[in-house]
Structure 1
Amino acid sequence: MYGDVGWGGQQAQAGQRSPYDGRPQQYPQASQYGDWSQEQQPGYGGQQHQQHQHQQQHQQYDTSGQPQYDQQFTGHPQQQQFHQGGWDATGTHGQVPYAADPGDPYGQQPVAYGGEQPDFYGTEDAYPPPEPPGRRRPEPDPEPAADAEEEHGVLPGDDEDDEEHELQGRRERRGKGRKPVKSKKRRTGCACMVVVLVFGGGLGGVGYFGYKFYQNRFGTAPDFAGEGSSQTVTVEIPKGAGGWEIGRRLKEAGVVKSADAFVHAQGTTPGGDGIQAGAYLLKKEMSAASAVKLMLDPRSQNNVVVTEGERNTNVYAAIDKRLELPDGSTKKIARKQYKSLGLPSWAENNSDIMDPLEGFLWPATYPAAKGMKPEAILKQMVTQAKQKYAAYGLDGKARELGLNNAFELVTVASLVQAEGKTHDDFRKMAEVVYNRLKPTNTETNRLLQFDSTYNYLLGKSNIHISEKEINSNPSPYNTYTHKGLPPGPIGNPGEDALKATLNPTDDGWIYFVATDGTNNTEFAKTYAEFQELKDKFNASSGN
């Protein structure tokens, strides 16, 4: 019936390709076996045999000749075993593996019915025989192949699990045309809602930033009116703060309504850029113009100013006054807490030193208002001095200048600051100190003989000291009787004095006299020159 398919009672050899190259075979006379091609293939729902070859069930027959449907392909095709004498009496089907053809892309997939499997029903000995026409059922009308492929979503021959395809096909047929439409509508509605929200949010953002841009460029900055309320507040302005930073701090303290208003007022007020760092006592809810005007008034400042050469005792008293504390409060705290204030590691504190913080309260302006703690203010001063000294590398410079360490260099700087009267004096005064400290000094025998060290000891500034008084005081700060440097600094040197200490003159100066008793200091290289300067001083002072 099927020409030279090559049955002859023999099974195809393993690896032998079908003359149809793996494509489904079409049977022109399949209608006579209608029961076999349609009815006995469960799960197809009336679909044609050639459209669902990947879900084909393999039929098994017992000795009675009745078809059995207990076995179904699940991805590994079972080949029916046929012998010379007919079917295997045991009723089982042997599995005959076929080697994959390298040229066939579907070589590893289940073999479709009638594709590469020999057709045993096309011969005279086909078993079992077709059912009588009376037992056949009418064939359902086949659906177009395109619909089947669209419904299942796969091509014939795909290597997916047959059972899963069958269940999926049933679910799609039951709910076809309903759920996908609803899901699609929901997705479309959500997409529209997202677009509306994004578009609306974008318009809102553009409008808001456009309004802010207009306000910044052309609008009037928010501002209070008048000179403020009765409530006062202290605002600290750090060093180097500009108009925006000052305005921001004032706004946070409730002094002005906006930083923009303050910047505008500062720019339109003569001298507005002269606002210095420090603490200011201001009123709340002031107009920006009033705030600028008050900050330019020194009476509004709550600051402690450490001047160049000032001693610590004066600084302590100024802090007590600003913080409205009893006299001596800051001095007591300094003595108890000096170790926790951040002194450099090379700072000394032996029993001869009168104040461990002397020389470490850097000359500058510091905020000091009621409510602040003295130790916090002192720590700012020490931190500033530590940073300045570190920047100059005092340890290395000290050894170059014949000193032992940075602490001695700060002590020399404090002497230069105390004895020098003008900027021009500082470098000469530094040379005088170094020359008197030299072991080769035969003029003063390494005695500094500075009135400033003795005055520091007494806490005074009187330069008229009698010889009897000087010789009777054994303190190591008495440089008339003790050789070398005093135990520590005698004040807080400024930057000019520090620079001069690091870069002294080299002219041979070893004597000096304030010939007018105040500002005019003259220097000498020999004792004879010194006597002449001393006579000049006595004449000017009436001695």
Structure 2
Amino acid sequence: MTEYGRGQGSEPWHPEDPLYGDGGWGGQQAHPGQQSPYGGQPQHYPEQPQQPQYGDWGTGEQAGYGQAQQHYQYDQQYAAQTHGHQQYPGQGDHGHPQDQGYHQQQYDNGGWATGPHQQVSYPGDPADPYGQQTGAYGGGQSDYYGTPDAYPPPEPPGRRRAEPEPETDWDPGPDQGEHAFFAGDDDDDGDEPGDRRRRDEQRGRGGKPKKRRNGMACLVVVLILGGGVAGAGYFGYQFYQDRFGDAPDFAGDGSGQQVTVEIPRGALGYKIGQVLKDAGVVKSVDAFVTAQANNPDGQKLQDGVYTLQKQMSADSAVELMLSPESRDNLIIAEGKRNADIYRLIDKRLEVKEGTTAAVAKKDYKKLGLPAWALNQPNVKDPLEGFLYPSSYGIAKGQKPEGVLKQMVTRATETYEKLGVEKKAASLGLEDPWQLITVASMVQAEGTSHADFRKMAEVVYNRMKPGNPQTNGLLEFDSTYNYIKNQSKIDLSLSELRNYDNPYNTYFHKGLTPGPIDNPGEDAIKGALNPTDDGWYYFISLDGRTSEFTKTNAEHQKLVDKFNASRNN
């Protein structure tokens, strides 16, 4: 390899040189000075000072792909040593006119020419490594500036003037005498001539003038920030009211305008409050829920029909709903027989008496009875025991079958919840139907809920065929009264024991063919969980409580006491 600066020595490249002709990367044969495969620039001669392949970034001189960069003095030195006045690209000022034609012939032969005459490029300023660099595929493109004067030859290093530092758009900021926000850049008062000139030159070079920032921008920002603060305050207030403030509420006991509302079954506080709010009774659901929670009896509110007033305070609405005065429901009491319930439904629906009973007799299989309650023999009324005691919102215009179906559904759901079907066999019963029958007797004979478990044990003990006390007879006055559709207390033994009817437990052993009333939940629970104390007899001396005994002798003493109190 030759050293830099010798300027003599080696012969031109030999045709067998691997970089000559087909040995180069471009796959094309090249004459001396022909384009390099790196992008259209000629190969260097061996005696030429060798440039670093990728440029020397420390000196600002770069030999990139497609550009051989050299100093001016090297151009003059090697121009005399070229064969056939051969020139390097970028030295057209110092060659001969025929040299340009020679270069044109080279491009044509190499397939890179793009026109009849190619402008030769001049070397770029060493301080600007990209200033005159051509593209990899653009070695033959035209000079868009139209004249070689656009590219004056570089001066020798000794005669070069120091390049001024490029100007930028950097804003000196507030420390240089301009406020970063409020200062107007268009005002040149106080600027030195050099500053204005530099500003004008910057704009002349295509630099964008700085935007004018004045008081209007400040006003817009203030308005936006003010609106944001106001909005945040409003929503913050709403959030506080929703979480911690008092719910909207009316004052007083109402406007005097009555309104009827129906609370659906299973409705809880929020649902009840929504119904009342929609009807205009209370002002907000939250106010009602709060009032219900604050009332000691608030959880006792039931479904049904209520007569209230519009614009009531939530507290007064809760109190009125807990009062019987507001209830407009059909109340079915525990132990009520079906015959009585049919008459109550007819009256509430304002239909002819007997209408509901006829529907029950005809369509009882369509009203939702469970399978175990169907097809029972010798039953007086298949719906007995399934018109569940509760409060029902019933009003004129409804149909009897709809009301009956609602009651049967309530009973079926309650029995399923309490496990009637699952526990019947463990109590020695044939099916759940018998369990409901036991519960109906417990409901009819018991005088209080405290009696129900003892009363259930009396039934189960007497049902045993070999019991030494009653010999399998239940002997309940309530069964005789049921078949007679009456409720008498003073019944003679001769009357009771001589009436042949499946429902007369003085005449037939065991249970009646079906329930004799509609038991409530406590009576059903008593039948499901009887005591185990050996009770066989019971009597109520005051009509409010019952006394239980285990033997007939003990029982007879109480009977004599009762008769003495009645002067019998």
Tell me the TM-score range normalised by the shorter chain: 0.5 to 0.7
Q: How does 1:42-53 map to 2 (within 5 A)?
A: 51-53=133-135
Give how far 1:414 is off. 1.2
1:55 — aligned with what? 137
| Counterpart Cα distance in 1 of 2:402 and 2:223 | 54
Partner of 2:301: 276
- Counterparts in 2 of 1:85-484, with a 5 A limit? 139=148, 141=150, 205-213=231-239, 221=248, 223=250, 227-228=254-255, 230=257, 232-236=259-263, 241-242=268-269, 245-259=271-285, 262=288, 273=298, 276-278=301-303, 279-286=305-312, 288=314, 291-292=317-318, 294-372=320-398, 374-467=400-493, 469-471=495-497, 473-484=499-510
State the alpha-carbon separation in 2 of the partners of residues 47 and 376 from structure 1.
104
Deviation track 1:36-68 (CA, whole Å, cap 9, x = no partner) reads 4899447x9999897443434899xxxxxxxxx
Deviation at 1:280, TM superposition (A): 0.8
Bigger Cα Rg: 2
C-alpha distance in 2 between matches for 1:470 and 1:477: 11
CA distance in structure 1 between the aligned counterparts of 2:262 and 2:248, rounded to whole angstroms: 22
* 1:29-44 map, 5 Å: 29-30=88-89, 31-32=91-92, 36=104, 40-41=113-114
Q: Flag the 1:273–1:495 CA change in 2: closer, same or farther, 3 A.
A: closer
Helix, strand or coil at the partner of 2:23: coil
Per-residue CA deviation, residues 71-111 of structure 1 (Å, 9 max, x unaligned), is: xxxxxxxxxxxxxxxxxxxxxxxxxxxxxxxxxxxxxxxxx
Deviation of 1:388 after TM superposition, in Å, equals: 3.1
Tell me the distance in 2 between the aligned counterparts of 1:405 and 1:200.
77
State the distance in 2 between where 1:519 and 1:5 align: 135
Q: Deviations over 1:120-170 (max 9, x none)?
A: xxxxxxxxxxxxxxxxx9558469xxxxxxxxxxxxxxxxxxxxxxxxxxx
Distance 1:197 1:404 in 2: 84
- Assess if the C-alpha contact under 8 Å between 2:247 and 2:286 holds in 1: no
Is 2:441–2:478's contact at 8 Å kept on the other side of the alignment?
Answer: yes
1:261–1:356 CA distance, 2 compared to 1 (3 A):
same
Q: Which SS does the other structure have where 2:372 is aligned? A: coil
State the shift of 1:403 in Å. Answer: 1.0
- Give how far 1:402 is off: 0.9
What do you get for the CA RMSD once the two structures are aligned? 4.7
Asked if the contact 1:303–1:322 (Cα under 8 Å) also holds between the matched residues in 2, the reply is no
Give the SS at the match of 2:481.
Answer: helix
Kept in 1, the 8 Å contact 2:259–2:279? The answer is: no
TM-score between both structures, scaled by the size of structure 1: 0.62
Aligned residue runs from structure 1 range 19-34, under 5 A: 23-26=65-68, 29-30=88-89, 31-32=91-92
Match of 2:165 in 1: none
Q: Which residue of 2 aligns with 1:11?
A: 22
Which digits, 9 at most, give the CA deviation of each residue in 1:246-278, with x for residues without a partner? 43321111223334555677789x878487324
Aligned length: 417
Q: Deviations over 1:290-330 (max 9, x none)?
A: 54554344222112223222223333333444444443344
Instruction: State the alpha-carbon separation in 1 of the partners of residues 122 and 399 from structure 2.
Output: 97
Distance 1:47 1:319, change over 3 A: farther
1:229 Cα deviation from its structure 2 partner: 5.1
Structure 2 unaligned spans of 5+: 1-7, 28-36, 39-51, 55-63, 71-87, 93-98, 124-131, 153-204, 212-220
Amino acid at match of 1:223: F
Within the candidate set 489, 494, 506, 2:520 is matched to: 494
* Residue identity (%): 47
* 1:26 maps to amino acid: A
Q: 1:447-480: CA deviations, max 9, x gaps?
A: 2222211211122111333455445544321222
Counterpart residue identity of residue 301, structure 2? Q
Q: Structure 1 residues 140 and 54 mapped into 2: Cα distance closer, same or farther (>3 Å)?
A: farther
Query: How far did residue 412 of structure 1 move?
Result: 0.9
CA contact (8 A) 2:261 2:275 kept: no
Where structure 1 has 5 or more consecutive residues not aligned to the other structure, the ranges are 60-136, 144-176, 186-194
Q: Report the AA paired with residue 343 of structure 1.
A: L
Instruction: Identify which of structures 1 and 2 has the higher relative contact order when contacts are C-alpha pairs closer than 8 Å and 6+ apart.
Output: 1
User: Are the structure 2 counterparts of residues 264 and 486 from structure 1 closer, same or farther at C-alpha, using a change threshold of 3 Å?
Assistant: closer
The residue type equivalent to 2:306 in the other structure is Y
Q: TM-score under structure 2 normalisation?
A: 0.59
